[in-house]
Structures are given as C-alpha cells and as structure tokens.
Structure 1
C-alpha cells in the first residue's frame, strides 16, 4: 500500500515488505533522522534487529515478533539502523493514518511483545486489535487489526473476524488461498467488510508466513507525501518547511550523522487519496 487499486485498508495507508536482505551484501539499514506527521509507524520484523531512536527520547530495539509503534501526531523525528549482529534483515514497515480529530496528537512510542496463540494448523501473534481470542493492550485511534500468522503446509485456518472490518493479507512465504483467492509471496489480498469469518489455506509444501491487517473503512481522504500524512498540499508544504527551518520535530540524539533533507515538492497540487464519507 498504497497502490493504484487501493489506498487504504482500514486506516492502514502504507505497507512496505522488504527482504530477506543479506546485510553483508546490502550494508543493512541506516536511515538518518527524518520527520513524520499525522500517522503512526508500525515496525515488525521477521529476522534481524533495528535500533530505533526518536526525538521524544525513545531508544529501543526492534526484534522479530515484537511491536514497536511510534505515534507521529503533530510531529516527531526518528532514525533506524540495523545492529552489527544482524545478518539477514527481513520484515514489514507499516503506517496507520490518524483520523482528523487525533492527527495533531502528541508524539509517543510503545513497545509490545505479543505471545503466540494457537490457530488451526498454526499460530498467531496479535500486535494490534483482537484475533483468535487474544487482544493487544496497545490502544489505537481507530479500530484496527494487525497480526502475524504462520500456517503449516496444507493447513487451513478459519478465523472469526469483525464484520465491520475490511482485511488485507500480505504473503511473505507460502502460497495461500484467502477466501478462495490464490495469493503468492509479496502479494496482498483483500476482503471487503461484511464477513464474519476468514478462511486461509496454505497450499505450499512449506510453512506460510503472513501478515493480516484490518480495520473499519477509514472514511476520510488523506494526502501522503514523503513521510507526512495530511489533508492538503498546504499542510504538507508547511510540514516540509518546519523540518527545514523549525523545531517542530525535535532532535534525535545518539545518531552520528546528518539528518535527511526533504525532497522538493511537486510543482502541482498533491492528489487526495481514500474515500470521503
């Protein structure tokens, strides 16, 4: 996400699936301090380790199976660097758009390590929302679901889901059927609201690794550019100017290097995305 056919799944507005990357060949991750507004970032790893630092003083490690959720709100900046002991870097970076009434909230950072819970033929780690009888304690600004699923070869799991949610299933490993639709690695399947169950079958001869996302349809149009989520080109331009000249985004301590400069804005107005109520 986003893609031409679909901008949002619930409030999930960005999904970047990366790796597995051999750090010896790629050099790993070294993202200098950069700003965010109007969103939350969700870091979820399958392998490797990333050091997170931000402008509200958070210093944490992102590890496989553990949620790091950063609320940008009115403005935050952070850096992300893979640790020296990382050999293979592999995971997803996800963004959640904040609704209009909360998008200027104060920045924050939360960490949570969900326990594995059994599902038919596999297990789930529920990092946001509720699934398979387990509920994440991490609060969200809109109703959301985020979970890592593993399924054994040939296994079928039927999961009870919220009928008001739309769902997306990202395949990392395996070949699956999602409600009868075939999905291959790096593909994102979609299920519209109105279903109270979701059936997933792993048709591969090896275990499947999946990320299930869900939420109530967002119902607001957003403007996304670089690391900002806003509602107009003017707001984006102001955030860019504040990053260049002001103190809105604070300072990231402990990162040795310059922060990322903002790219030039396009010469035309940015196009709103999503569905207005």
Structure 2
C-alpha cells in the first residue's frame, strides 16, 4: 500500500521510552480519489514513530467494496522497507515490478521486501463469474524498516498460505512474522525478517484471558480491531493501539462481553535513526532525494493529465508494474527544508 498523502510530512523514526502502557489513537487518511478507501493510521505519529522495526500501521474496513470501490492503489515505489499485507476479510491483488501477480486472502501473508527499490500496485480484484469478488474489505497494512545492512538488498516477494497457529484456553494465536511462544511452544513464521520482531493475530472469545510469553527485550504494540479489549490492565478501544515498553516477560489480554480481534506487533527497539518520507525509508536527505528523482524519471506526464511509464522504465531502479488499469503515481513535492534524522531519546 502507498502513502497517498499529497503533502507527506517527514517522519523521524526512533524508539521511545517509558514504563507504562501508552494508548495511541488513530487519524483517518483517505487513499486517493472521491471514492477513497479511508484508513486509520496509528503508526507513525509524533508520540511514537516505531515499535521495534514496525514503522507504519494502517487499519481499514470493514468496507462495502461495491459501494466504495475497495482498494485501488496504482503503481508506486518503495525503498528500505518491507510491506506486510494482512486481511481479516476480503481479497487484494498484488502486482509488482518483479513480475509477481498474487492474491491474498484472510489468514494468508503477502510480504514484499523493497531493498534498493521496487514498485507495486494493490487493488480489489474485478468481480467475475469465475471469481466472485468478496463483498467486504477489512485488514491492515504494515511496514517494517530494514536495518542499514539490508536496506539496499535485492527486492523480493513472498506469499505464505499457511502460518503457525495455536489455541490456548479458547483463544487463537496466528503468527505472521517472527516468532512467539504460546503455552511453552515456539511458533515461528516462515516469512523472512531482517531484525528480531513479531507479528501475530489474536482472537479471543468473550470473557477470555490470554497470557502471552513475550520477550523482555521487545517493545510491543497491540492494535485492537474489534471487541472489548484490555491490554496489561488498560482498556483499549477499537482502532486504538496500546504501546507496551520493553521489560515485560508476559502480556495479558482480556476480552469483555464481546469477542476481541487484535494484532500484536513488536520487536527489539530499533537502534538506527531513519527518515521516512512518502513511500521511502532512508538514512539521510540525499537518499530520499535520489529515490524521488529516480521515480520521477520513470513517470511520464500525458497530454490529458494522466501518467504513463517513461520509455525504458522497466530497466530502471523501480522497474515497471504490468497489468494495472492506470499509470503510476506521481511523487509528491519534497518539503522546502532539509530532511534530517534525529537521535532518539537516550542515545
């Protein structure tokens, strides 16, 4: 998924500090156009820009695809990150400049590693007799920062249809990224990661308590999708995210009268300062400027105001996505000030 804000702000990413549970509210961001899909963004924000290596969390739906058009995100570029597509309902078709064309459904994982540069599109597939389109779209889109040693890696794409799952006292835990111990058993996702982290879906029936065995070296975030949830003794409304600092050997989630669905993310506090602007994660101003210039050179403006790929785009840094109905996205204008990474507190 792309950040489609026309004036994206610089996000200076560094881990925070604290000792208690911190509630992070969301802000609504439309993903382009009059029938835009609206997402609720909890990360990044000024109060907290990273949770482990997780640097972006958009939560959307449930949306009526017929009424709203679902997800329609034209080809756009990424550097220095991984994109994680996870659905609660519906279906998304991913295409990228590696030649990938892959649908993802609930319980499956689409994982794209941008590295030095990749471009992709995401859309709700067309409704056909052979393949009826699910009526509802509901899920999350997440990004993780690649550490400096891997930020220029060769781009890759992975799809995983089966992920490790466990049931504990009626609650279900499915690990999509990294690993997590559940009732003494380590569940490890087959997805490739570049730093110690975890991502898992948690489903609790009403009046259920789930005690997770968490790594004390990890900080964690719990995004509540639905239900009456309490995280480490703190009530968390739907669409809010509870941040839990490192140091805990366990994390308790409690469901009230309604069943709870939540997403756990976490990892070792990221010890590198980075700049995130638009769809790029870099280490300094020059890196972001170079990536934007490279993408702009691949996008040709048409006489009717639309875009197309410039000649030879397929052989350039971000490649070319085949099969999407419209041309690629334009890059927004950079701010008038130099993008500067800052040191996180305590370093």
Superposed CA deviations along residues 160-181 of structure 1, whole A, max 9, x for unmatched, are: 0111100000000012111111
Which residue in 2 is equivalent to 1:125? 174
C-alpha contact 2:58 2:141 (8 A) present in aligned 1: yes
Of 244, 248, 268, the residue aligned with 2:317 is 248
Residue in 2 that maps onto 1:138: 191
String of CA shifts for 1:1-44, please: whole Å, max 9, x gaps.
Answer: 00111000000000001111111221111111000000000000
Task: Give 1:40-189 correspondences, 5 Å limit.
Answer: 40-83=82-125, 84=127, 85-112=133-160, 113-131=162-180, 132=182, 133=185, 134-189=187-242
Give 1:12's match in structure 2, choosing from 51, 54, 59.
54
Q: How many residues align?
A: 276
Distance across 2 between alignment mates of 1:271 and 1:175: 40
Decide whether aligned partners of structure 1 residues 136 and 95 sit closer, same or farther in structure 2, where only a CA change above 3 A counts: same
Summarize the Cα distance change of 1:273–1:121 in structure 2 as closer, same or farther, 3 Å threshold: farther
CA-based RMSD of the aligned residues comes to 1.3
Whole-angstrom distance in 2 between the partners of 1:137 and 1:162: 19
Cα distance, 1:86 vs. partner?
2.7
Runs of 4+ in 1 over 3 A off after TM superposition: none
Give 5+ residue unaligned stretches, structure 2.
1-42, 128-132, 299-315
The answer on whether the counterparts of 1:130 and 1:136 sit within 8 Å (CA) in structure 2 is yes
Q: Which runs of 5+ in 1 are unaligned?
A: none
Residues 98/273 of structure 1: CA separation in 2 closer, same or farther (3 Å cut): farther
Q: CA deviation at 1:256?
A: 2.4
Indicate if the aligned counterparts of 1:143 and 1:216 stay in contact, CA closer than 8 A. yes
Distance 1:123 1:272 in 2: 40
Q: 1:22 aligns with which of 41, 47, 64?
A: 64
Alignment check: 8 A CA contact 2:94 2:121 kept:
yes
Structure 2: how far apart are the matches of 1:271 and 1:94?
24
1:273: Cα distance to partner? 5.9
Q: For 1:261 and 1:224, how far apart are their aligned partners in 2?
A: 17
1:274 and 1:8 mapped to 2: Cα distance?
13
Q: Radius of gyration: which is bigger?
A: 2
